[in-house]
Amino acid sequence: MKNYKLIALGCALLLGMSCCLTGCTASGETGNASETKTEQQETIEKAKTQDINDVHLRDKDSLYENDDETSVVTMYLTVSQGNSSEGTNHTWKEINSYSAYDYDKMGVDRYQTAALLQVGDESGPQSGEVGYGENVPNATVQIRGQTSSSNAQKNYKIELKKNKGTWRGQRTINLNKHQTEGMRFRNKLSYDLLKGIPQLMSLRTQFVHLYVRDLTEGNSTEFQDYGLYTQVEQLNKTGMKNHGMDSKGQLYKINSFEFYRYEDVIKKEDDPTYDQAAFEKLLEIKGDSDHTKLIQMLTDLNDNSKSIGNILDQYFDRENLTYWMAYQILTGNVDTQNRNTYLYSPQNSNTWYLIAWDNDGSFMRTEYSIQNRSDQGSWECGISNYWGNVLFQRCLQSEEFREELDAAIQDLRSYLSVERISSMIEKYRTVTQKYLYQMPDRMNAPLTEAQYDTVAAALPSEVEQNYELYKESLEKPMPFYIGVPVIEGNTLKLNWDASYDFDAETIKYTVEVAKDYQFNEIIFRQDGLLIPEAETTVPSDGQYFVRVRATNESGKTQDAFDYYVTDDGKNYGIKCFYITGGQNVEEDIYEE
């Protein structure tokens, strides 16, 4: 745990020193006592003068001491219609009918219902637990998640009301179904692995068997089995305090943010043009709302005249940054380029830390292969996965940072051993497999039982597979973005950003235009281009696809960041566009 109260640290050391001196005096070893006193005085003085920015963030290990990683807690949720003033006058059917994207389109907050949460075991609510003996609502419930909110089985956010108690010190309870994740334990596996990595923070998790009784459209007396969920501790001000962090510090949940300055959105609260809703589409505010420190960091980070080494020393903890990236790379959690992470800074420190959030995309390569999905291919591996983020790109351009990252990867590679992960998987599957292949979860299980066994056997070896992909990514050019084609007269001008090579090798480009995304009907192709642009005659009106690939002197090839999505997954390095009226170009934009 990182302790920011340096005075307390000094007091603790002083207490320890007093004990030592008492023992030494009793034994008559006055000479040693004098030497010990001098050494300890120096330690105390050092603690008093220590800079908060030099102290590494550490988790509170005592939080996990009594964890039973395979236990299942049973929760009983009785939902009922509340009132309009609290926004809980909705039915359970309504709650489960809309996704996060639907709410965005409607321009309204997510619907809630009133709820009575009771905790116990399979025999019912238990004495001493939340909600025991109660008959009226003590909470609210709504769906949670973004992409996952479109699934048939929803994730839920249960918020206990003030003065209605807490569950394990938490008022916010996140229940995650992980419907598209075939093993149903990846998020828990990742958080439990993080507990053993001192350089990174973890969060508490718990398997939960959920029953729901719906009173919003009648008075049903029956609880319905909703199957297995994984509860993940909410990192908010309460969570920060529980983990020994500064609850008055800055904490942002990264929703869609590449560390650009975004001057039109990232503003101080007292700015007359400040729009919190627009701000939180990028960064959800979970801690202090003074954005001064964030703005200063982003301003300097996006100033290319300032060295990345100085920026890292001033604003980031290198240990945290390298181990965070190393962990994501080795576990294959690729959906972390611009989201699924917390950004935290203590109130009296300039240092920012990354904290993992939402790890159910980890260890997915074997499962995607079985499902014939192309996701996590091409540039979505190794360091190229992070090249589109300003912070990570500037870091990776530094040879010193790459060396530090490699050291962290080698350290974690040993920790994430086949033996360790295999042992953990055997424990988890005794829980998850039982629920997954019985109703109601069986309805949406993405793997057969035989496929489940195949993935479970292969999953531990994915760390080494991801390591090999990481090494290969260092040898390739970096990905880049394709620009929207431009028509000038009878000429179609194609353009893209320049690629980057860590060994400064010459990069040549191949560009193609086709009528289909599989490039069977190619109408233009040019090889060996040294500059990121090309021209061709304007084709007739219709849909077209442009594909660009970069190849360095060593023969290593890289796709563009752009991709075209079909039912089978991503087709990398491709931008889709339309020509209309013989002179207009419209980009086909994919929205998740």
**Per-residue b/e over 326-362, b at no fewer than 16 CB within 10 Å?**
bbbbbbbbbbbbbbbbbbbbbeebbbbbbbbbbbbbb
Q: Where are the domains of the chain?
A: 6-50, 64-237, 244-473, 477-587
Q: What stretch of H or E contains 579? A: strand 574-580
All residues at 6 or more sequence positions from 551 whose CB lies less than 8 Å from its CB, including other chains: 477, 507, 508, 509, 510, 557, 558
Q: How many beta carbons lie within 10 A of that of residue 585, not counting itself?
A: 16
All residues at 6 or more sequence positions from 181 whose CB lies less than 8 Å from its CB, including other chains: 187, 360, 361, 364, 367, 446
All residues at 6 or more sequence positions from 235 whose CB lies less than 8 Å from its CB, including other chains: 203, 243, 251, 253, 286, 342, 355, 357
Q: What stretch of H or E contains 13? A: helix 6-27
User: What six digits make up the tokens of 443?
Assistant: 């309805």
What DSSP string describes 52-107?
GGGSPP---GGGGTT--TT-EEEEEEEEE---GGGT----HHHHTT--HHHHHHHT
Q: Which of 569, 149, 96, 77 is nearest to 372 (CA)?
A: 569
Distance CA 436, CA 156 (A): 18
Distance CA 478, CA 379 (A): 8
* List of E strands, 122-184: 124-125, 139-144, 155-160, 172-176
What SS3 state is found at 346?
A: coil
Q: How many helices (H) and strands (E) does the chain have?
A: 16, 23
What DSSP string describes 542-553?
EEEEEEEEEEET
Which residue has 């958080």 as its token pair?
191
Superfamily assignment of 477-587 in CATH? Immunoglobulins (2.60.40.10)
Largest Cα–Cα separation, the chain:
99
Between the CA of residue 233 and those of 63, 97, 168, 226, what are the distances in Å?
A: 12, 26, 9, 20
| pLDDT values of the chain reduced to their tens digit, one per residue, 592 residues | 333 333 333 333 333 333 333 333 333 333 444 445 566 666 556 555 556 667 789 999 999 998 899 999 999 999 999 998 888 999 999 999 999 899 989 989 999 999 999 999 999 999 999 999 999 999 999 999 888 889 999 999 999 999 899 999 999 999 999 999 999 999 999 999 999 999 999 999 999 999 999 999 877 779 999 999 999 999 999 999 999 999 999 999 999 999 999 999 999 999 999 999 999 999 999 999 999 999 999 999 999 999 999 999 999 999 999 999 999 999 999 999 999 999 999 999 999 999 999 898 999 999 999 988 877 889 999 999 999 999 999 999 999 999 999 999 999 999 999 999 999 999 999 999 999 999 999 999 999 999 999 999 999 999 999 999 999 999 999 999 999 999 999 999 999 999 999 999 999 999 999 999 999 999 999 999 999 999 999 999 999 999 999 999 999 999 999 999 988 789 999 999 999 998 899 998 765 5
Q: 343 near 254, Cβ under 8 Å?
A: yes
Q: What stretch of H or E contains 440? A: none
